[in-house]
Amino acid sequence: MDIASRPAEPAENTQVADAAPPPTAPPVIRREDYQPPAWLVPETGLEFTLGIDATLVASKLRVVRNPDGSGDAVLRLNGDQIVPLAVRVDGAAVNDWRLDGPDLLIDLPGAEHLVEVETQVNPAANSQLMGLYASNGMLCTQCEAEGFRRITFFPDRPDVLSTYSVRMTGDKGTFPILLSNGNCTAQGENADGTHWAEWHDPWPKPSYLFALVAGELVANHDTFTTTSGRKVDCNIWVRPGDEDRTQHAMDSLIASMKWDEEAFGREYDLDLFNIVAVSDFNMGAMENKGLNVFNTRYVLADPETATDADYDAVEGVIGHEYFHNWSGNRITCRDWFQLSLKEGFTVLRDQLFSADMGSEAVKRIEDVRVLRSAQFPEDSGPLAHPIRPDSYQEISNFYTATVYNKGAEVIRMMRTMAGPQQFRKGTDLYFDRHDGEAATCEDFVRSMEQGSGLDLAQFRLWYSQAGTPQVAVTLKHEGTTATLHLSQTVPPTPGQPEKQPVPIPLRIGLFDRESKEHTGEQLIVLTKASDTFVFEDFAKLPVLSINRGFSAPVSIEFDRPNEDLVFLAAHDDDPFARYEAMQSLVVQHLVAAVSGGLNDAARTAGRAAIGQAFAAIVTDPALDDLMRGELMILPAESYLAEQMLIADPGAIHAEREALKAWLGCEYAEALGALHDRAVGVPYSRDAAARGARKIKSQALGYIAAGNKAEGARRAIAQYRSADNMTDRQGALLILSSLDVPEREEALADFHARYEANALVIDKWFSLQAGSFHPDVLTHIRELAGHPDFTMTNPNRVRALYMAAAVNPKAFHDESGEGYRLIGDLIRRLDPINPQTAARFVPSLGRWRRIEPVRAAMMREELQKTAAEPDLSRDVREQVTKSLG
C-beta closer to ligand ARG: residue 10 or 284: 284
C-beta closer to ligand ARG: residue 145 or 663: 145
CB of 144 to ligand ARG, least distance (A): 5
CB of 291 to Zn ion, least distance (A): 15
Question: Burial level of 665, CB count in 10 A (0-12/13-18/19+)?
Answer: middle
CB of 256 to ligand ARG, least distance (A): 13
Q: Which residues pair with 332 in a beta bridge?
A: 438
- Site size toward Zn ion (CB under 5 A) is 2
Please report the sign of the dihedral spanned by the C-alpha atoms of residue 516, residue 519, residue 523, residue 528: negative
What is the rounded CA–CA span in Å between residue 783 and residue 764?
A: 10
Number of H helices, E strands in the chain: 31, 31
Question: Known catalytic residue: 321?
Answer: yes
CB of 242 to ligand ARG, least distance (A): 21
CA atoms within 13 A on the CB side of 452: 25
CB of 680 to ligand ARG, least distance (A): 40
Residue 724 interacts, among Zn ion, ligand ARG, none and using kind-specific CB cut-offs from 5 to 8 Å, with none
What is the rounded CA–CA span in Å between residue 13 and residue 472?
A: 66
Q: Which stretch binds Zn ion (CB under 5 A): 225-233, 335-343, 385-393, 852-860?
A: 335-343
Residue 351 interacts, among ligand ARG, Zn ion, none and using kind-specific CB cut-offs from 5 to 8 Å, with none
What is the rounded CA–CA span in Å between residue 361 and residue 366?
A: 9
For 224-246, letters b (16+ CB in 10 Å) and e give bebeeeeebebbbbbbeebbebb
Contacts of 646 (CB under 8 A, 6+ apart): 849, 850, 851
C-beta closer to ligand ARG: residue 324 or 434: 324
Catalytic residue among 47, 118, 287, 321: 321
Residue 283 interacts, among ligand ARG, Zn ion, none and using kind-specific CB cut-offs from 5 to 8 Å, with ligand ARG
C-beta closer to Zn ion: residue 549 or 794: 794
C-beta closer to Zn ion: residue 330 or 603: 330
CB of 520 to Zn ion, least distance (A): 38
Residue 399 interacts, among ligand ARG, Zn ion, none and using kind-specific CB cut-offs from 5 to 8 Å, with ligand ARG
CB of 328 to ligand ARG, least distance (A): 7
C-beta closer to Zn ion: residue 286 or 593: 286
Which residues make up the interface to ligand ARG (CB under 6 A)? 142, 144-145, 282-287, 320-321, 343, 396, 399, 835
What is the rounded CA–CA span in Å between residue 747 and residue 744?
A: 5
**Strand segments (E) across 173-262:** 177-180, 183-189, 194-205, 212-215, 218-225, 231-238
Rounded to 5 degrees, φ, ψ at 82 are: -130, 160
Contact predicate 341/440, CB 8 Å: yes
CB of 724 to ligand ARG, least distance (A): 28
Identify residues 337-376 at the interface with Zn ion (CB under 5 A). 343, 346
DSSP structure string for 760-816: HHHHHHHHHHT---TTHHHHHHHHHTSTT--SS-HHHHIIIIIHHHT-HHHHT-TTS
C-beta closer to Zn ion: residue 209 or 879: 209
What is the rounded CA–CA span in Å between residue 544 and residue 209?
A: 48
Residues composing the chain? 884
Closest CA to 163 of 324, 322, 45: 45
3-state SS class at 278: strand
Question: Burial level of 801, CB count in 10 A (0-12/13-18/19+)?
Answer: buried
Residue 145 interacts, among Zn ion, ligand ARG, none and using kind-specific CB cut-offs from 5 to 8 Å, with ligand ARG
Rounded to 5 degrees, φ, ψ at 222 are: -150, 175
C-beta closer to ligand ARG: residue 341 or 699: 341
Residue ranges binding Zn ion (CB under 5 A): 343, 346
Catalytic positions, written as ranges: 321
